A = this chain, B = another copy of it.
Amino acid sequence: MADATLLPRITEAVDAVFEKQVAFLQDLVRFPSRRGEEAPLQDWMAREMARRGYAVDRFTLADVGLGGHEKGAPMVGVDPAGSVQVVAAHRASNPTGRSLILQGHIDVVPEGPADMWTHPPYAAVVRDGWLYGRGANDMKAGVSCMVYAMDALRAAGFDPAADVYLQTVTEEESTGNGALSTLLRGYRAEAVLIPEPTGHTLTRTHTGTLWFRLRVRGVPVHVAVAQDGTNAIMSAYHLIQALVEHTAKLNEAAATDSWYGEVRNPIKFNPGIIHGGDWASSTPAWCEVDCRIGLLPSMDVREAMAGVERAVKAAARSDNFLANNPPEVVWHGFQADGFVLEPGSEAEATLAAAHLAVHGTPMSERRTTAVNDTRYYGRYYDIPALCYGPKGDGNHGFDERTSLEDLRRCTVTMANFIAQWCGLIPR
């Protein structure tokens, strides 16, 4: 099926319904699918996939029992029974090609104050070749590529000659439990492609991520006698400073890492949420800080967690109050390994060829300092895991947007990849 007429036929098929794809992406963006609120979008997606004739398996994290799995991460304040996953299966009647998982997460991070957006974050405004909105780029764009790449092959008169699973998952931004649940549910394939917005580059390696909550107490007193109490907000900053220093040391050591040695400060530490106290004239009795820290693929998750706990303990010992009232470190989300896609796989070679055919330039690679779901497939289940997708900016910020021309190209590339990897049979 690699004849010279195929790519033009695929391209034509993508172009023919590109307006529909953009409208589909707008529909996706209009769902405010923040953590714990993804179910309505997943229900809609299940119906959309069923309408296309896929066999749809809709299940929740509660159905697969993540709790007992070594790589299941703790979920705090989110009900696993409400965290819906969707797997839409194309089952080849007489498979001759290589099977494939296409996976995208549909959870989005909070949009923050709406007044800091140029366009409302869930309005899915299209302007000057860009589609704006929370999740437009990270990664509902890629999800639309998955769906419309498959649509294009069909419109061109073909079906993949192997099983293809289109998976939309949750929890990518907080634990990774959505991806894990599809593997625990039993889905496997000879490759997986996750179209995160990589700007048409292949993700050679990603760092791991830990989430933790610092819980600091204080001795509340009337501010008039502040010297008799302690201030939990100031104590929290003492610990944050210690973690900034801990991170600096990790980054010094990272300079000799084989994958991240050339990346400046690849370990990122972020205090992302803070809440403390309830009265301006009382010294605050408590402060909680939700933090994120990275780790290199060469580092062990348990050791990285122990390092955070050691840093917090050492800082607490240097403070009179905290020494006797030790802060808690609560592990409330990501306990994610990093991952390296070892060069040389057939899957990578096939994607590189598909990219070259569409873009006319070789596929480049990136080393990212954020986590993604490929680790589950590649590191624990030995499935070649490609992270490659469309282009945009503003992920996790304001005015997030995805480029429509890049969306189109990515859809063509993905359809071309499916054709080459799975093979095609006439419908």
Contacts and interface: CB of A to CB of B under 8 A. Distances in A.
Interface of A: 109-110, 112-113, 116, 138, 173-174, 207, 209, 211, 217, 219-227, 229, 231, 233-234, 237, 240, 265, 268, 270-287, 289-292, 294, 333-334, 368-370, 395-398
A227 B396 CA distance: 14
B220 A280 contact: no
A89 B369 CA distance: 71
A223 B397 contact: no
A210 to B, nearest CB: 10
Nearest to A266: B224
A236 to B, nearest CB: 8
B280 A277 contact: no
Nearest to A369: B224
Given A173-B279, A224-B368, A280-B292, 7 more contacts: A113-B286, A223-B292, A226-B270, A233-B274, A272-B280, A273-B277, A273-B279
A286 B233 CA distance: 16
Contacts of A227: 265
Nearest to A225: B369
Contact of A274 (B138, B173, B219, B276): B276
Contacts of A280: 211, 270, 272-273, 290-292, 333
A419 to B, nearest CB: 32
A292 B223 CA distance: 8
Contacts of A229: 397
A112 B287 CA distance: 11
Contacts of A279: 109-110, 173, 272-273, 396
Nearest to A290: B280
Contacts of A209: 281
A207 B225 CA distance: 12
Contacts of A285: 112-113, 116, 397-398
A257 B107 CA distance: 59
Interface centre among A209, A282, A284 (most CB of B within 10 A): A282
A281 B222 contact: no
B286 A278 contact: no
A274 to B, nearest CB: 5
A62 to B, nearest CB: 23
Contact of A396 (B220, B268, B369, B397): B220
Contacts of A207: 224
A398 B268 CA distance: 38
Contacts of A270: 223, 226, 231, 280-283
B370 A224 contact: yes
B233 A396 contact: no
Nearest to A273: B277
Contacts of A281: 109, 173-174, 209, 211, 270, 272, 292, 334, 370, 396
